[in-house]
Amino acid sequence: MGADTACVGARALLRGEFAEEIADRLPHFEALRCFPGQAALELARRDAHTLASSAWVVGEPELSRVAREVEHQLPGGPLDELLSLLRNWTP
Amino acid sequence: MTAPVPPALTTVVVVDDSPVQRRFVRGAVEADPDLTVIGEARNGKEAVALVARLRPAAVLMDLDLPVMSGIEAIEQIMAASPTPILVYSAHVAGVESANALEALAAGAVDVLAKPGPDHTGSLDEYAHQLRRRLKVAARIRVITHPRGKLRTQVLAGLPWLQAEPGWAPEPAEVRQGVALIAIGASTGGPQALHTLLKDLPADLTQAVLVVQHMAEGFIPGLVAWLDQLVPLSVLVGGGGRRLMPGTITIAPSGANLLVLDDRLRVLCQPPDAGQFHVPGIDQCFGSIADALGPDAIGVLLTGMGRDGAVGLKAMRDRGAVTLGQDEATSTVYGMPQAAFALDAVERQLPLDQMAPTLLSLVGRAT
């Protein structure tokens, strides 16, 4: 098995890690809905930034795109769409 | 009979606040049997402590970190435990390329864009690129940045830039008719260019052309960054234009910038098949040798590899003065060393003597 094949094979493990990352960060976006202060905005921007890259790595280009849009457009942007996509990952 | 000694593993510390990214990077890196991840940090502060304790061969670092930013962590690592740092971040490409320059100025040796929704390559390609760039970075000899950034006001006090007691460059003989100063640089180049170019006065009557190896999309950030820091105007070169006296032109990425004639008209030419470094310094310097002969000065600064050596030799053979950065002040003494070995370098100088020597050569008192 080549190095690259092994790398791709590891993606399944990454998806489990990604679900945990979403569980950690989802409350920050939900909090932004209730307490849209500067600190919450900054936290959500950082979370969206991280999720955009992580989603690409685990093979979720649509989630990656929406997270990147939210990162760049906060406090506007498709926050509801992002929340909907993220909730699909929670139990 | 002795057993063969296994080659030493290249040790890596990964710095990223995302567990997904850290797991992915660990898998990607360790897919190469020569690389091993010996530590992971979740923020800049942890990174500084971990690098000091583990002393890895290289650090792979995100920029957007909690607690302490990536830039601040780079500065602190380079001040306390100099280590080659490869930055990988989503915030270094396109309109955000200024972040890449800031990371390089802080002491990182290379910058790689972290893929996101606009990335067209595959995960395999990205993993391969990570491994390749890490292995290159780990071979780079880095030097202490006592205060992290190479700030102008601090430069004179940096021990690694100071000449030995009593050392002074030989006075440079004035060369009449010099129209162009051509500079080539690669790894460590942005900091070196800043150091050199900040001492060229705004009323310089020669044109300055810079070829800096840099990935697609980063040149505008380099131009904007330098333009804020140096007296001369800095702009990106393009085909069909002329190099202007008193202006620094940076060769664009993705093509070779060639000087066509003694009116300093330039042409952008697609890279040669298999050309590794684009824009190419050899191609640019070679064109200058043909177009200007003795009426140019060639300068080859820090950089990995050999690009520029052949072109600088062509310039010297056609009567141009040629300068090479010395080993002590080079982040990587690859390109200047190759040029020196080829007898392409007329004078080898510490970085802080480049600008005074250039000004002497063109008849400007310093």
Distance CA B160, CA B221 (A): 27
At B112 the pLDDT is 86
At B169 the pLDDT is 53
Q: What is the ipTM of this complex?
A: 0.82
User: pLDDT tens across B333-351, in order?
Assistant: 889 999 999 999 999 999 9
Just give the CATH number of B172-361.
3.40.50.180
Distance CA A53, CA A39 (A): 22
Distance CA B324, CA B312 (A): 9
Distance CA B190, CA B173 (A): 28
% of chain B with per-residue pLDDT over 90? 58
Q: Give the mean model confidence (pLDDT) for residues B119-145.
A: 83
Mean of pLDDT over chain B:
86
User: pLDDT tens across A24-63, in order?
Assistant: 888 888 878 777 777 788 888 889 999 999 999 998 999 9
At B155 the pLDDT is 34
Query: Does the structure show a pLDDT above 80 at B192?
Result: yes
Identical fold between B10-152 and B172-361:
yes
At B44 the pLDDT is 94
At B165 the pLDDT is 41
Total-model pTM: 0.64
Phi-psi region of B7 (alpha: psi -120 to 50; beta: other; left: phi over 0): beta
Pairs across A and B, CB distance < 8 A: 73
User: pLDDT tens across B200-233, in order?
Assistant: 999 999 999 999 998 777 788 888 889 988 999 9
Query: Does the structure show a pLDDT above 50 at A20?
Result: yes
At B1 the pLDDT is 45
Residue in B21, B66, B91 closest to A54 by CB: B21
% of chain A with per-residue pLDDT over 70? 87
Q: List the single residue in A with minimal CA-CA distance to B128.
A: A4
Secondary structure of chain A in HEC code, one letter for each residue: CCHHHHHHHCHHHHHHHHHHHHHHHHHHHHHHHHCCCHHHHHHHHHHHHHHHHHHHHCCCHHHHHHHHHHHHHCCCCCHHHHHHHHHCCCC
Q: Give the mean model confidence (pLDDT) for residues B133-160.
A: 58
Residue B233 designated active-site: no
Query: Does the structure show a pLDDT above 70 at A2?
Result: no
Interface of B with A in 65-124 (CB under 8 A): 66, 90-91, 114-119, 123-124
At B310 the pLDDT is 96
- Locate the domains of chain B by residue range: 10-152, 172-361
A49 touching B, CB under 8 A? yes
Phi-psi region of B291 (alpha: psi -120 to 50; beta: other; left: phi over 0): alpha
User: pLDDT tens across B257-303, in order?
Assistant: 999 999 999 999 999 888 888 899 999 999 999 999 999 999 999 98
Shortest CA gap B36–chain A (Å): 14
At B328 the pLDDT is 87
Just give the CATH number of B10-152.
3.40.50.2300
CB count, 10 Å around CB of A16? 12
At A38 the pLDDT is 79
